[in-house]
Amino acid sequence: MYKARTAWLFLIPTGVLLLTFSIIPAITALGLSFTNYNVFQPIEWVGVENFSRAFSDDDFWTALWNTFYYWILVTPALIVFPVFLAILVNQQLMGIKVYRLIFYFPALVSVVVTAILWTWMFKDDGLFNAALQAIGINPIDWLTDKFTAMPSLAIVTIWQGLGYYMLFYLAGLQSVSKDLYEAAELDGAGFWAKHFYITFPSLKPIIFFVTVISTMSAFKEFTLMLTMTAGGPIGSTTTLVYMIFEKAFTDLEMGYASAVSTILFVIILILTLINKRALDTTQ
Amino acid sequence: MELKTAKLQPKIQAKKSRKLSLKHKRNILRWSVSYTLLTLLAVVTIMPFLWTVSTSLKGQNETIFSYPPNFIPENITFENFVTVWNTLNLPLYLWNSVVLSFWGVILPLFFCSLAAFPLARMNFKGKNVVFMTILATMMIPGEVTMIPVYLTISKLGLIGTYSGVILPGIVSAFAIFLMRQAFISIPKELDESAIIDGANAWQIWWHILLPMVKPMLATLAILKFIGAWNNFLWPLLILEDSNMYPLTVGLYELKGTFVSNTRLVAAGALIALIPILIVFIAFQSYFIKSAYSSAVKG
């Protein structure tokens, strides 16, 4: 019906953009990992030097640990809590739509505004410490203590992600047939039994989707660290991407930064494959 | 089968009527528990916003951080909004954000639906390879390619320009995928009859197919608008002249310079939030739809 030439004409503009800003950069990033490119000096092939440097670099291991730490703090919470939030807002109640909108809204707030809002919540004389004071607990240096900085950022991420992932689960819940629940109720199934035998199994594909998406975004997060803690205190919120960003654009060590981003890419790839494997075996 | 259900029927009915008053009581309990939980969670969710609104309305003489915290300003004043609007480049930042968001919506919509058309409605050699390659790019995180993309923009001489900010974000595999799904659901006969009437591929795409996928275009437009309006990293990396900053980067600078004047920063943050809030309330149903199309169908 259409000529092949027509098809290619439609594909070329987008194809060029995709090649220039995604495919070629991915290959270039891999290539740069094996060079000492630093903007000023001529580019030189250094083999695996960047990688061996990374593996003996304490900053790299700290950043890797911080990334995993942030992921562990954030992802399980963002897989589990939104399910219950979705069950809560999936009821036929008056004004339920307004609640859905309220829960979802934080997902749309830009990272800069989020940072501004939450820096105040965490201030030494901010709202969180006022609440602690009310129940007689000493104030905490939320963002300026190296032990609480990352959990504080995790709280912000969870606040922002709850409603976002809730919406995915809600979409899933609404495609579960109501007859199933009615039948279960007739059989005398209570809240937990109903959800354990009907809701959770039918949400499995969405749970997988949320796991992948929230894992990916946890491993890539760094603008929150940039705007709220600047990677500190004492590097305790420097994630891998933050390290890449600093090495590349502050220290201009593009080669070394590329090597770290190659490692990051491999980690993300492995995690995705594990996730996929886990889903395939459970089905 | 019929016999069985007939036998069961009276039993079920008896069970039902016995449970009726109990059910009524249980419903009231369920409602009160649900509303309490919902309201509690909603308050926690909007607490940072409430606090910001309250701060932005407080005058210079009123304390912001106090114990116990004071949510209702003693004298409500709008002077912070006026000050932040007049002394900073806020109107300029706002305009820059509008410009960047406009192109950040129009261009992705155009290019992604352009590529989705042949992938959905034409048969040609290599189609599957092309489609698989596009889907595979979803696996490449933007953070990994950040350095080469920056170097490419620099080579093209686009550092400090809006083109440099917009270009890397135009094409996304996800948007192409969504548009392809929308195009596939239209009956093929439409193209055939249009070709018989003498229309060319471009005309079919522009005049017949695009109007039919308006709901998906609207969903994508909203997603892209939110992304473009909130875009922070690329403008920060690419732009050099502070007169070209969008609101996000402007606020980031503002946060640094006006760190002592919390009221002004609060007013600025709220001004940045308003467009998002308006779009969100006006197009709420599309947000639900976009979640549905990406999680359930995808």
Residue numbers of A between 122 and 181 with CB closer than 8 Å to B: 123, 125-127, 130, 133-134, 159, 162-163, 167-168, 170-172, 175
Residue numbers of B between 10 and 69 with CB closer than 8 Å to A: 12, 15, 31, 34-35, 37-38, 41-42, 45-49, 51-52, 55, 65-69
Average pLDDT over chain A, rounded to an integer: 89
Residue B221, token pair as written in the block? 């437009």
User: What per-residue confidence (pLDDT) applies to A161?
Assistant: 93
**Of the candidates A32, A97, A117, which has its C-beta nearest B148's C-beta?**
A32
CATH number assigned to the domain comprising residue B290: 1.10.3720.10
The answer to the question of residue B54 being in a domain is no
Nearest CA in chain B to A206: B295
Q: Which domain does A259 fall in, by range?
A: 33-282
Q: What whole-number distance in Å separates Cα of residue B240 and Cα of residue B247?
A: 14
* Residue that wins the pLDDT comparison between B116 and B87: B116
DSSP label at residue B157: T
Residue pair A167/B290 in contact (Cβ under 8 Å)? The answer is: no
With a cut of 80, say whether residue B62 has pLDDT above it: no
DSSP label at residue A22: I
pLDDT digits 0-9 by tens, B137-196: 888 888 889 999 999 999 999 999 999 999 999 999 989 998 998 999 888 888 888 989
The answer to the question of residue B56 being in a domain is no
DSSP label at residue A230: T
With a cut of 80, say whether residue B121 has pLDDT above it: yes
What domain count does chain A have?
1
Please report, rounded to a whole number, the percentage of residues in chain B having pLDDT higher than 90.
36
CB proximity B152 to A under 8 Å:
yes
With a cut of 70, say whether residue B3 has pLDDT above it: no
Place of tokens 């630093």: A38
Residue B100, token pair as written in the block? 């960047």
User: What per-residue confidence (pLDDT) applies to B1?
Assistant: 44
With a cut of 80, say whether residue A280 has pLDDT above it: no
Give residue B117's pLDDT band: very low, low, confident or very high (50, 70, 90): very high
Give residue A283's pLDDT band: very low, low, confident or very high (50, 70, 90): low
DSSP label at residue A42: P
Q: What is the torsional sign of CA B144, B145, B150, B155?
A: positive
Q: What whole-number distance in Å separates Cα of residue A188 and Cα of residue A182?
A: 10
User: What per-residue confidence (pLDDT) applies to B114?
Assistant: 94
Q: What whole-number distance in Å separates Cα of residue A22 and Cα of residue B121?
A: 25
What domain count does chain B have?
1
Burial B68-101 (b: 16+ CB within 10 A, else e): ebeeebeeebeebbebbbeebbbebbbebbeebb
Give residue B298's pLDDT band: very low, low, confident or very high (50, 70, 90): very low
Most confident of A187-196, A270-279, B170-179: B170-179
A35 SS3 class: strand
What is the mean predicted confidence (pLDDT) over B67-93?
A: 78
**Of the candidates A29, A130, A268, which has its C-beta nearest B147's C-beta?**
A29
Nearest CA in chain A to B274: A109
Give residue B18's pLDDT band: very low, low, confident or very high (50, 70, 90): low
The answer to the question of residue B73 being in a domain is no
Q: Which domain does B149 fall in, by range?
A: 90-297
CATH number assigned to the domain comprising residue A104: 1.10.3720.10
Using the beta-carbon criterion (under 8 Å), do A121 and B48 form an inter-chain contact?
yes
Q: Kindly list the distances between the CA atom of residue B122 and the CA atoms of A2, A11, A17, A241, in Å, as whole numbers in the listed order.
A: 6, 11, 21, 40
Nearest CA in chain A to B35: A93
Q: What whole-number distance in Å separates Cα of residue B101 and Cα of residue B97?
A: 6
User: In this predicted structure, which of A12-26, A176-190, A233-247 has the lowest mean pLDDT?
Assistant: A176-190
A35: phi then psi, degrees, rounded to nearest 5: -125, 170
The answer to the question of residue B109 being in a domain is yes
The answer to the question of residue B119 being in a domain is yes
The answer to the question of residue B52 being in a domain is no
- What is the DSSP track for A137-202? -----TTTSTTTHHHHHHHHHHHHHHHHHHHHHHHHHHTS-HHHHHHHHHTT--HHHHIIIIIHHH
The answer to the question of residue B293 being in a domain is yes
pLDDT digits 0-9 by tens, A63-81: 999 999 999 999 999 999 9
Residue pair B238/B164 in contact (Cβ under 8 Å)? The answer is: yes
Q: What whole-number distance in Å separates Cα of residue B232 and Cα of residue B228?
A: 9
What is the mean predicted confidence (pLDDT) over A215-238?
A: 89
pLDDT digits 0-9 by tens, A28-39: 999 999 998 887
Using the beta-carbon criterion (under 8 Å), do B45 and A159 form an inter-chain contact?
yes
All residues of chain A having their beta carbon less than 8 Å from the beta carbon of residue B230 are 108-111
With a cut of 50, say whether residue B2 has pLDDT above it: no
Give residue B5's pLDDT band: very low, low, confident or very high (50, 70, 90): low
Residue pair A224/A111 in contact (Cβ under 8 Å)? The answer is: yes
User: What per-residue confidence (pLDDT) applies to B7?
Assistant: 55
Residue A12, token pair as written in the block? 């070329």
H or E element, residue B142: none
Residue B270 identity: L
